[in-house]
């Protein structure tokens, strides 16, 4: 793929990522007029803002805004989007839709900063800026300069735009009444580019998108994507070797790559970029949306919802978690499927019409004292393929239960007896793949529900299973793995997967991937990794003492899944997951981004199940 085509495709990918096609071509041109503005911020920087206003001037409309680093285009007179707002329904219901290029991106002025830190204290007359002040100043300008509005603002965004929606909540403008962060990045150390200290290598190619400044406003991509020369990501990254060898692809002009490799720990650089600590005194109504199979941002929506709930007990705060991968709820393809798992038809359209549109219409058009009639939590059960509603999330009625892996490969609620241990050899030269597919995709998606049989059959993956279930069993809520482990070396990663093993007589449906069958399918329900050096603190890494039994706690993200009668619950434990995450040398080095190729060595890992040191998987079960 040539460089120009690569740039174009990546730009097109982001611009259209969450834009479904309108069913009526020309609807936007017929019903809306577009004007582009350069709106001044308090420090004088001007942000490019595109406003679509209904042509029908007999009504007053609320604003609904999206702030994005992925372009507010198409730019220019007569160039119109094919769909406005979060959905076709909202477009036809009538709103003033606003799109803005964030500071330092595309047609906006200023300097770009990934996950720009929130200014914690506001001083009157201060020129200090953050995403909250830019949002505030934009709203203030639009209220004064746009006609036919009702004085109310809403904001939404998916993925990075979801972060910008969440970042509008601290010190929000009084006119901002309803905000929906969807698949929002909450903290770059736990979403997207890192998971619990492990670098997500699958996002390495995206470093080009976020790492280059541009000289002034532009309506064309200014970054160059890496030409990998192969469709085999596993082979490409194995051939690359240590991450220090990636410097030949990204130089010092890529500021994000420099930030990544110079800040491997959860230090002040990352901490001040988290939006989570600033979600206090939240005034707007909030509806956070996420997908159970979102490979990019699952930490963000769950943590943002829980944090707002904890810090703001009187704020309207709801959660929607559906059977979606990243942003699927904004698209409708008729059926909803992730990997080989089918969840039903028209689920996204149902959500758009009966949840999302209801939320915004109530707070932006309805009476202030009315009720949305939406539940606290709309949660999809990915085992039964049905929506559930709850008054709290996690459900207060869920019962804490502990499952224990045993050395004979069994998984049960019975505590281990004796001195049980499972052993495997982890070799960075032959890491466990995260997917059986040969591919080089920009962001991983389907692996979140992929068949895990390929991994279960490797000697460096430990497998523990329950007996065949005699009745349905529903996990709903949080999962905490408390691993009791040792390693012959001084560092190690630990990956835990929760897997649903289907019965042998499970029939295929028409869209099962060629070469795969649902007979004995090992569906990954949840998975997570922790870089072992961060077992006690993400900011203060610590080597392992060779062959010393050590506790490694690993918080997996929440789950809502019914393991049906006839299925089995399986836990897989491993130490490599390539090239989803980078390889751990297993020899402790200060900064893995700067490790030498010679630092990567084999190690013998042990997982203990004895009475004094039982490895345990803590779950919540709905009775």
The confidence score (pLDDT) of residue 367 equals: 78
Which residues are CB-contacts of 183 (< 8 A; sequence separation ≥ 6)? 158, 159, 162, 289, 290, 291, 294, 296, 297, 300, 301, 326, 327
Topology given in CATH for the domain delimited by 194-271: alpha-amino acid ester hydrolase ( Helical cap domain) (1.10.3020)
Q: What is the CATH number of domain 399-622?
A: 2.60.120.260
Mean pLDDT for 339-367 is 96
Q: How far is CA 118 from the centre of its chain?
A: 20
DSSP 145-186: H-SSEEEEEEEEEESHHHHHHHHTSTT--TTEEEEEEES---
| pLDDT confidence bin for 118, thresholds 50/70/90 | very high
Contact in structure between 257 and 263 (CB atoms under 8 Å): no
> For the segment 38-50, what is each residue's pLDDT rounded down to a tens digit?
999 999 999 999 9
Contact in structure between 95 and 133 (CB atoms under 8 Å): no
Helices assigned H by DSSP within 345-498: 347-351, 357-365, 453-456
Which residues are CB-contacts of 124 (< 8 A; sequence separation ≥ 6)? none
Pairing of strands 61-68, 96-101: parallel
| pLDDT confidence bin for 18, thresholds 50/70/90 | very low
Cα–Cα distance measured from residue 186 to residue 302, given in angstroms and rounded to the nearest whole number = 9
- SS3 for 162? helix
> For the segment 141-186, what is each residue's pLDDT rounded down to a tens digit?
999 999 999 999 999 999 999 999 999 999 999 999 999 999 999 9
Domain limits, the chain: 27-118+128-187+273-390, 194-271, 399-622
Cα–Cα distance measured from residue 317 to residue 118, given in angstroms and rounded to the nearest whole number = 21
Contact in structure between 575 and 495 (CB atoms under 8 Å): yes
Contact in structure between 82 and 29 (CB atoms under 8 Å): no
| pLDDT confidence bin for 447, thresholds 50/70/90 | very high
Low-confidence winner among 365-379, 453-467, 530-544, 608-622 (lowest mean pLDDT): 365-379
DSSP 433-473: BS-SS----SS--GGGG-B-HHHHTSTTSEEEEPPPPSS-E
Cα–Cα distance measured from residue 150 to residue 208, given in angstroms and rounded to the nearest whole number = 41
Question: What residues does 294 pair with on adjacent strands?
Answer: none
Contact in structure between 244 and 257 (CB atoms under 8 Å): no
Cα–Cα distance measured from residue 598 to residue 410, given in angstroms and rounded to the nearest whole number = 37
1 pLDDT higher than 70: no
442 pLDDT higher than 80: no
- SS3 for 337? strand
Cα–Cα distance measured from residue 403 to residue 571, given in angstroms and rounded to the nearest whole number = 10
DSSP 182-220: ES----TTTSTTEETTEE-GGGGGGHHHHH---SS--SS
User: Number of C-alpha atoms within 13 angstroms, CB side, residue 191?
Assistant: 29
Cα–Cα distance measured from residue 528 to residue 538, given in angstroms and rounded to the nearest whole number = 15
DSSP 13-67: HHHTTT-PPPSSTTHHHHHEEEEEEEEEPTTS-EEEEEEEEES-TTS-EEEEEEE
Which residues are CB-contacts of 590 (< 8 A; sequence separation ≥ 6)? none
| This prediction's pTM | 0.96
Asked if CATH classification 3.40.1710.10 holds for the domain at 27-118+128-187+273-390, the reply, yes or no, is: no
Low-confidence winner among 69-83, 107-121, 358-372 (lowest mean pLDDT): 358-372
Mean pLDDT for 542-553 is 98
Tell me the C-alpha to C-alpha distance, in Å, between residue 535 and each of 424, 425, 481, 491.
Answer: 20, 21, 12, 11
User: Which among 255, 198, 246 is positioned nearest to 226, based on CA atoms?
Assistant: 246
Q: What letter does residue 609 receive in the DSSP assignment?
A: B
The confidence score (pLDDT) of residue 441 equals: 77
409 pLDDT higher than 70: yes
Give kind and range of the element (H or E) at residue 608. Answer: strand 603-608
How big, in percent rounded to 5, are the helix, strand and coil portions of the chain? 20, 30, 50
Cα–Cα distance measured from residue 481 to residue 607, given in angstroms and rounded to the nearest whole number = 12
Contact in structure between 313 and 424 (CB atoms under 8 Å): no
| pLDDT confidence bin for 440, thresholds 50/70/90 | confident
Mean pLDDT for 264-289 is 98
308 pLDDT higher than 90: yes
Q: How far is CA 208 from the centre of its chain?
A: 19
- How far apart are the two ends of the chain, measured CA to CA in Å? 53
Cα–Cα distance measured from residue 331 to residue 354, given in angstroms and rounded to the nearest whole number = 15
- Looking at 243-295, which runs of residues are DSSP E strands? 285-291
> For the segment 200-238, what is each residue's pLDDT rounded down to a tens digit?
999 999 999 999 999 999 999 999 999 999 999 999 999
Residue 330 exposed, middle or buried by CB count within 10 Å (0-12, 13-18, 19+): buried
> For the segment 480-498, what is each residue's pLDDT rounded down to a tens digit?
999 999 999 999 999 999 9
Q: Which long-range contacts (CB under 8 A, 24 or more apart) does 454-459 make?
A: 455/497, 455/572, 455/574, 456/499, 456/522, 456/570, 456/572, 458/432, 458/574, 459/424, 459/425
Q: What is the mean pLDDT of the chain?
A: 94
Mean pLDDT for 283-298 is 97
> For the segment 356-408, what is each residue's pLDDT rounded down to a tens digit?
999 999 999 987 666 899 999 999 999 999 999 999 999 999 999 999 999 99
Which residues are CB-contacts of 120 (< 8 A; sequence separation ≥ 6)? 278
5 pLDDT higher than 50: no
Mean pLDDT for 323-330 is 96
> For the segment 578-622, what is each residue's pLDDT rounded down to a tens digit?
999 999 999 999 999 999 999 999 999 999 999 999 999 999 999
462 pLDDT higher than 50: yes
User: Which among 198, 232, 159, 221 is positioned nearest to 441, based on CA atoms?
Assistant: 232
User: Which among 204, 137, 134, 131 is positioned nearest to 163, based on CA atoms?
Assistant: 131
| pLDDT confidence bin for 414, thresholds 50/70/90 | very high
Cα–Cα distance measured from residue 85 to residue 28, given in angstroms and rounded to the nearest whole number = 11
- SS3 for 494? strand
The confidence score (pLDDT) of residue 10 equals: 47
C-beta neighbour count of 53 within 10 angstroms: 20
């Amino acid at each position: 793929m040539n460089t120009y085509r690569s740039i174009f495709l990546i730009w097109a990918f982001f611009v259209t990522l969450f834009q479904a096609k309108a069913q009526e071509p020309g609807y936007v041109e017929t019903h809306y007029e577009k004007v582009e503005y350069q709106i001044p911020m308090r420090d004088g920087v001007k942000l490019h803002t595109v406003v679509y206003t209904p042509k029908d001037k007999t009504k007053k409309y609320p604003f609904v805004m999206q702030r994005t680093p992925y372009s507010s285009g198409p730019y220019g007179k007569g160039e119109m989007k094919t769909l406005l707002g979060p959905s076709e329904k909202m477009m036809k219901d009538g709103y003033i839709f606003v799109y803005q290029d964030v500071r330092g991106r595309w047609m906006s002025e200023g300097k770009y900063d990934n996950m720009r830190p929130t200014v914690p204290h506001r001083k009157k007359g201060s020129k200090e800026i953050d995403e909250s002040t830019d949002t505030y100043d934009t709203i203030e300008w639009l209220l004064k300069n746009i006609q036919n509005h009702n004085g109310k603002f809403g904001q939404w965004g998916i993925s990075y735009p979801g972060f910008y929606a969440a970042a509008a909540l601290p010190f929000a403008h009084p006119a901002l009444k309803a905000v929906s962060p969807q698949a929002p990045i909450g903290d770059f150390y736990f979403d997207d580019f890192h998971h619990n200290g492990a670098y997500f290598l699958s996002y390495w190619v995206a470093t080009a998108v976020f790492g280059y400044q541009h000289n002034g406003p532009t309506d064309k991509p200014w970054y160059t994507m890496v030409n990998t020369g192969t469709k085999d990501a596993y082979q490409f990254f194995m051939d690359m070797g240590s991450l220090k060898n990636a410097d030949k692809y990204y130089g010092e002009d890529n500021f994000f790559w420099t930030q990544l490799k110079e800040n491997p720990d959860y230090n002040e650089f990352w901490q001040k970029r988290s939006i989570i600590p600033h979600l206090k005194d939240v005034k707007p109504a909030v509806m956070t949306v996420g997908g159970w199979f979102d490979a990019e941002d699952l930490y963000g929506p769950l943590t943002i919802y829980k944090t707002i709930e904890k810090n703001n007990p009187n704020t309207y705060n709801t959660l929607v978690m559906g059977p979606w991968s990243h942003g699927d709820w904004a698209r409708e393809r008729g059926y909803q499927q992730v990997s080989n798992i089918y969840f039903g038809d028209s689920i996204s359209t149902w959500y758009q019409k009966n949840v999302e549109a209801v939320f915004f219409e109530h707070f932006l058009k309805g009476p202030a004292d009315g009720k949305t009639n939406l539940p606290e939590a709309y949660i999809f059960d990915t085992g039964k393929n049905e929506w559930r509603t709850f008054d709290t999330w996690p459900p207060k009625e869920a019962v804490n239960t502990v499952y224990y892996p045993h050395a004979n490969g069994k998984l049960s609620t019975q505590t281990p007896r004796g001195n049980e241990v499972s052993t495997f050899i982890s070799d960075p030269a032959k890491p466990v793949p995260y997917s059986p597919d040969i591919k080089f995709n920009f962001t991983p998606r389907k692996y979140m529900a992929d068949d895990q049989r390929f991994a279960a059959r490797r000697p460096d993956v430990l497998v523990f299973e329950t007996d065949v279930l005699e009745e349905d069993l529903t996990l709903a809520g949080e999962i905490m793995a408390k691993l009791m482990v040792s390693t012959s070396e001084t560092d190690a990663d630990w990956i835990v997967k929760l897997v649903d093993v289907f019965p042998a007589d499970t029939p295929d449906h028409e869209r099962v991937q060629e070469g795969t069958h649902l007979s004995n399918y090992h569906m990954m329900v949840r998975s997570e990794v922790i870089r072992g050096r961060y077992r006690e603190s993400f900011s203060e890494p610590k080597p392992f003492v060779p062959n010393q039994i050590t506790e490694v706690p690993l918080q997996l993200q929440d789950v809502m899944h019914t393991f049906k009668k006839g299925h089995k619950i399986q836990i897989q434990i491993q130490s490599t997951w390539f090239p989803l995450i980078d390889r751990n040398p297993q020899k402790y080095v200060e900064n893995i981004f700067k490790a030498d190729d010679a630092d990567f060595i084999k190690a013998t890992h042990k997982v203990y199940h004895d009475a004094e040191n039982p490895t345990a998987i803590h779950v919540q079960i709905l009775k």
